Every structure is written in C-alpha cells, then in structure tokens.
C-alpha cells in the first residue's frame, strides 16, 4: 500500500528561522540522550537546551518525556 505524502517547501519566513537556528547551534556542543528502554540514541540536544522534550524512539517506538537539565546532572553524576 502506497501512501500519498504531501511535501511542500517551508515558507520563506520559516526557512530564515531554520537558517538562524542552524547558525545559533554551530558553535555549541551536542550530546545524545539515549532511550531509557532500549538504549538507542533517542534525541540530540545542544548546550542551550532547557526544559522538557518529548521524543519517540525510532527503534522501540516508545514515547518518553525527558527533562534535559536533570539528564545532564544524572549523566555528570554517574561519570564520577
């Protein structure tokens, strides 16, 4: 069964926002947060990421809400 997926270019305004966002993260470090169920790489976050992020794992399909700041502290705490 073939799905009809409509794809369109983002508006000029949205394209400019995408370019500005890419430039803003160009010099930042990135880190990957793993899925707590299957340990597959779930999302990539940057140094300025704050708050909560919801992500669906591409491997196991589970949806998880991550508190990015607490995940940073947990990772730092475990490495000591």
Question: Does some domain include residue 34?
Answer: yes
Identify the domain containing residue 39 by its residue range. 29-78
pLDDT at 77 over 50: no
Confidence (pTM): 0.65
pLDDT score recorded for residue 41 = 94
Own/partner pairs, 41-48, CB within 8 angstroms, 24+ separation = 42/66, 48/24
Please choose, from the candidates 44, 33, 42, the residue with its C-alpha nearest in 3D space to the C-alpha of residue 60.
42
CA atoms of 48 and 21, how far apart (whole Å): 12
pLDDT score recorded for residue 75 = 46
pLDDT score recorded for residue 1 = 63
Give per-residue pLDDT as tens, 4-38: 777 889 999 999 999 999 999 999 999 899 999 99
Question: Does some domain include residue 72?
Answer: yes
Number of domains the chain is built from: 1
Own/partner pairs, 48-51, CB within 8 angstroms, 24+ separation = 48/24
Ranges of H-type helices in the chain: 12-25, 68-78
Over residues 63-70, the mean pLDDT reads 89
């Amino acid at each position: 069964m073939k799905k009809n997926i409509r794809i369109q270019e983002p508006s000029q305004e949205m394209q400019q926002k995408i370019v500005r966002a890419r430039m803003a993260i160009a010099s930042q470090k990135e880190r990957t947060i793993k899925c707590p169920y299957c340990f597959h790489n779930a999302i990539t976050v940057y140094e300025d990421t704050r708050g909560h992020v919801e992500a669906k794992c591409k491997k196991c399909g589970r949806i998880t809400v991550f508190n990015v700041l607490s995940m940073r502290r947990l990772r730092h705490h475990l490495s000591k």
